[in-house]
Amino acid sequence: MRLSELIDRNGDAARIDIRGLSSDSRTVQGGYLFAALAGTRSKGSDFVSQAIAKGAVAVLADPEAEISEPDIYVVTDPNPRRRLALMAARFFGGQPETTVAVTGTNGKSSVADFVRQIWETLGHRSASMGTLGVRASGLATTPTLTTPDPIEIHARLAELKRAGVEHLAMEASSHGLVQHRLDGVRLKAAAFTNLTRDHLDYHATYDDYFLAKLRLFGELLQPGSVAVLNTETHVYDELVDICWGRGLGILSVGEGGELHVISRERNARGQELVVGFDGRRFEIFLPLIGDFQASNALVAAGLVIATGGDPAQIIRSLEKLEPVPGRLDLAGRTAHGAVVYVDYAHTPDALETLLETLRPYTQGRLHVVFGCGGDRDKGKRPMMGEVARRLADSVIITDDNPRNEDAAQIRREILAACPGACEIADRQTAIAEAVRALGAGDMLAIAGKGHEQGQIVGATVLPFDDMEAARAALAGGGARG
């Protein structure tokens, strides 16, 4: 593609052929445009010489960037991150016809995967993209960040389009939104699940965190599109005001909303729901436990309804939903009837929701194993410790992903609010000990890492999977009766 086609400018740009895009000078190849983006520890302009040496023929940078190389075409933009995303959208071209996004502190992965499952049940070739990777029937699951960089996003969108995928559900993280990674994605609808404390290691304040998420509705979703909003989040009224002001349609989900649960009966296999929508009642069996799972399922149904289709058929398709990996995921049972779940809960609110969900199903004692990540919001640590102390009968504090922090110090910060907890640094040993301690009718929640298959220690990712560790402990038969 000619550079002139990317930037709508003629002159010398019309003679430059762009063969690829990169914001990492190490991956630049001949004919690439290099995006010299500012990072947290370095300036992108510091790597322009390296990118040129590897074959870059053009550079995208901030107008104030100091680029001394005279023989390189420089595209300047006061918001180079957004410009890169729009360039990537144009360079890769194809996108699934119907794309939706979901943001919020908790529930993004579940909602995106449930949307994919609903569409598949309705006969659409569909995919989801986010923390769990790119998932689509008939295609190998490929890992990604929660919201990948814009070059990867648009490359994946084009790949999915070529593979015949016309329906896609994406997670939209606060990092991804504030860094303009989703700009250029053509969205038909977007959802907001909830807002609680998270990522305050990155965002200056809680309000900044909320504002980052608001970009999805305040800027990216185009007038005439639909916002699917959870009525039970405390920022619902603010979201409604913003969406109405921008000419977005609104589909409310939850208590008092258009799509809501009228009644429920819980059992060990799931929940019998009576769901209301548009004056009609639908009796369905949702094969997932937990009120939050029902909430996520209805938000997913709302996104599908918002993009077209028979609401009755969509709501009934919830009966075919399967658990999302690492989200209240059943690891197994002991011979004495104790049950073990793995969950991604890594915020105070998510841990509280997890333990409150499992309590009614617990005939004996409720156990939890968890830790907190390093190089992340330290304020969450005592908060999660307090939640565990208050809601669980037995607590083991262990390592999560310590990254570059002292793992023992992280544990101490959790234990300060949970003084009665047991401390076992090695996560596999902690899980094995928790399983060994289970009695008849007990319940164990292994929280924090969910689907992850590695543990980050320093700069090293060590192979580790909570589900595998739990099943190995269960297979060892070490639980007491």
**Predicted confidence band of residue 480 (pLDDT cuts 50, 70, 90):** very low
**Per-residue confidence (pLDDT) for residue 263, from 0 to 100:** 97
* pLDDT tens-place string over residues 304-339: 999 998 999 999 999 999 999 999 999 999 999 999
**Per-residue confidence (pLDDT) for residue 343, from 0 to 100:** 95
DSSP 222: P
Specify the CATH superfamily of domain 91-320: Mur-like, catalytic domain (3.40.1190.10)
* pLDDT tens-place string over residues 369-406: 999 999 998 999 999 999 999 999 999 999 999 999 99
* pLDDT tens-place string over residues 131-158: 899 999 888 777 766 667 899 999 999 9
Tokens of 160: 């999915």
Domain residues of the chain, as ranges?
3-78, 91-320, 329-475
* pLDDT tens-place string over residues 87-104: 999 999 999 999 999 999
Residues in CB range of 67: below 8 A, 6 or more apart: 36, 45, 48, 59, 61, 74
Question: For residues 5 and 18, what is the distance between their CA atoms, to the nearest angstrom?
Answer: 10
* pLDDT tens-place string over residues 156-169: 999 999 999 999 99
CATH 3.40.50.300 describes domain 329-475: no
**Per-residue confidence (pLDDT) for residue 66, from 0 to 100:** 81
Tokens of 329: 């995921």
Is 409 a residue whose pLDDT tops 70? yes
CB atoms within 10 A of CB 476: 11
**Per-residue confidence (pLDDT) for residue 481, from 0 to 100:** 40
**Predicted confidence band of residue 70 (pLDDT cuts 50, 70, 90):** confident
**Per-residue confidence (pLDDT) for residue 46, from 0 to 100:** 86
**Per-residue confidence (pLDDT) for residue 205, from 0 to 100:** 86
Question: For residues 358 and 341, what is the distance between their CA atoms, to the nearest angstrom?
Answer: 9
**Predicted confidence band of residue 204 (pLDDT cuts 50, 70, 90):** low
Residues in CB range of 454: below 8 A, 6 or more apart: 461, 462, 463, 464
Question: For residues 151 and 22, what is the distance between their CA atoms, to the nearest angstrom?
Answer: 7
**Per-residue confidence (pLDDT) for residue 71, from 0 to 100:** 82
| CB-based burial label for 169 (10 Å; 0-12, 13-18, 19+) | buried
Tell me the β-bridge partners of 117.
none
Backbone angles phi, psi at 137, to 5 degrees: -60, 130
Question: For residues 195 and 305, what is the distance between their CA atoms, to the nearest angstrom?
Answer: 23
CB atoms within 10 A of CB 148: 23
**Per-residue confidence (pLDDT) for residue 42, from 0 to 100:** 66
Is 212 a residue whose pLDDT tops 80? yes
Q: What percent of the chain has pLDDT over 70?
A: 95
Is 40 a residue whose pLDDT tops 60? no
Tell me the β-bridge partners of 156.
none
**Per-residue confidence (pLDDT) for residue 206, from 0 to 100:** 77
**Quick one: average pLDDT of 27-33?**
96
Q: Do 301 and 440 form a contact (C-beta atoms < 8 A)? A: no
CA 387 remoteness from chain centre: 23
* Threshold 0.75, pTM exceeds: yes
Q: Any idea what the Cα angle at residue 35 is, between residues 33 and 39, rounded to 5°?
A: 160
User: What is the assigned CATH class of domain 3-78?
Assistant: alpha beta
Tokens of 437: 């301690």
Residues in CB range of 46: below 8 A, 6 or more apart: none
Cα R_g (the chain), whole angstroms: 24
Residues in CB range of 234: below 8 A, 6 or more apart: 195
Tokens of 406: 């002292």
Is 356 a residue whose pLDDT tops 50? yes
**Quick one: average pLDDT of 184-199?**
88
Identify the helix (H) or strand (E) that includes residue 304: helix 291-306
Is 18 a residue whose pLDDT tops 80? yes
Question: For residues 61 and 332, what is the distance between their CA atoms, to the nearest angstrom?
Answer: 52
Q: Distances in Å between the alpha carbon of 88 and those of 2, 14, 307, 339?
A: 13, 18, 25, 47
Question: For residues 470 and 473, what is the distance between their CA atoms, to the nearest angstrom?
Answer: 5
* pLDDT tens-place string over residues 76-87: 999 999 999 999
